[in-house]
Amino acid sequence: MSLALGFVAERASAADKINFVLNWVPGGDHSPIYWAREQGWYADVDIELVIEGGTGSGVSAKKVGVGRNQLGISDLPTMLQTRGKGADLVAVMNIYANSPYGIYWKKSSGIKTFGDLKGRSIGNPPFDAARQMWPAIAKVLKIDPASVKFVNVMPNAKVAAMHSGSIDATTNFYNTHYIYQRIFGDDMGFVALRDLGFNPYGNSIIANGAWLMANPGLAHKFVSVTQKAYKACALNSKPCIETLAKVGSQKVADVTENWKLVVELMTHETSTKIALGYFAPDRMDADYAAVKTSFDIETYDVKTAYTNDFLDMSIKMPTDTN
């Protein structure tokens, strides 16, 4: 989606309020936004940023799609699906340049590789992103989508259900990988779907399309500051981690482990060489095709569902991080 920044008369005020909805409760991947707000970076460009906790990418995409929130975060395939259901959405920056989708199991269950999932049960919520994308994932795994049984398990019960043996495997985002390692140790089986060639963009910043068209300058300021914040936190994570731990009432050690995994998901040749948050057209075409495989949605031109116009192309993901 190409949106010219040569606008003329955009509404001016002391501070423009942006209601920003997260995809989930505050976590390490949100720490740069909270930290930048605390530092006054958004206020410096006349943005009053209100951050709202989330309850899933599907919910955040719907809220932004109807204009309840101007901006937010959603897993990109979920956003593309929601747009195909009529929501007015445009992705303006990716946070996860790599897919966070992963499958976990216990080696002691007899599952040695992902190929042994056939005939087994996978436990997750009906709205789980990887579960929703299962037809496309199964194609990559080269197994029949119907060869596994899905069991409804709430997000906070996945680990316990797998530990008890009531499910054989589960799916989760890679930024929680440290939890599985901590609990299962050497008994943990895992495959990152990105390593198998299934690598859709993950959590991304999305905008309401009508708001974006009416406020291009404001959107540009928000995206540029946010890119700057993620780069700064990648270079010096300690203050960002401490801010999130305080906001989310979490342990610094847990946020630190989460953030390390987030950095892995952010680091890709496009984020380090082109721009942090950049959407590659060929990958977006592939992401859209995967979504079309998995969902019954209206056909649309994926080029209208994302834009790189608001990125500061000079801001790149650093390769030397801490």
pLDDT, tens digit, for every residue of 192-234? 999 998 999 999 999 999 999 999 999 999 999 999 999 999 9
- Per-residue model confidence (pLDDT) at position 10: 46
Beta bridge partners of 172: 102
From residue 170, alpha-carbon distances to 54, 80, 164, 213 in Å are 22, 24, 13, 40
- Per-residue model confidence (pLDDT) at position 55: 87
The residues, any chain, with a CB within 8 Å of residue 306's CB and separated by 6 or more, are 1, 90, 91, 92, 279, 284
Domain 16-98+200-305 matching CATH 3.40.190.10: the answer reads yes
Domain ranges of the chain: 16-98+200-305, 101-196
- Cα separation, 250 vs 172, in Å, equals 20
Task: Answer yes or no: same fold for 16-98+200-305 and 101-196.
Answer: yes
pTM beyond cutoff 0.85: yes
- Per-residue model confidence (pLDDT) at position 23: 93
CATH H-level superfamily of 101-196: Periplasmic binding protein-like II (3.40.190.10)
- Per-residue model confidence (pLDDT) at position 283: 97
pLDDT per residue, tens digit, the chain (322 aa), is 655 444 444 444 568 999 999 999 999 999 999 999 999 999 999 999 999 999 889 899 999 999 999 999 999 999 999 999 999 999 999 999 999 999 999 999 999 998 899 999 999 988 788 888 888 888 888 889 999 999 999 988 999 999 999 999 999 999 999 999 999 999 999 999 999 989 999 999 999 999 999 999 999 999 999 999 999 999 999 999 999 999 999 999 999 999 999 999 999 999 999 999 999 999 999 999 999 988 889 999 999 999 999 999 999 999 988 7
- Per-residue model confidence (pLDDT) at position 9: 41
- Cα separation, 70 vs 85, in Å, equals 18
Structure token pair of residue 241: 């981690």
- Per-residue model confidence (pLDDT) at position 141: 85
Q: Kindly state the helix (H) or strand (E) to which residue 119 belongs, with its residue range.
A: none
- The backbone torsions φ and ψ at residue 237, rounded to the nearest 5 degrees and listed phi first, read -80, -25
- Per-residue model confidence (pLDDT) at position 106: 95
- Per-residue model confidence (pLDDT) at position 230: 98
In our burial notation (b when 16+ CB lie closer than 10 A, e otherwise), range 142-159 reads ebeeeebebeebebebbb
- Cα separation, 206 vs 312, in Å, equals 16
- Cα separation, 214 vs 70, in Å, equals 11
Task: Identify the three-state secondary structure at position 189.
Answer: strand
In eight-state DSSP terms, residue 278 is P
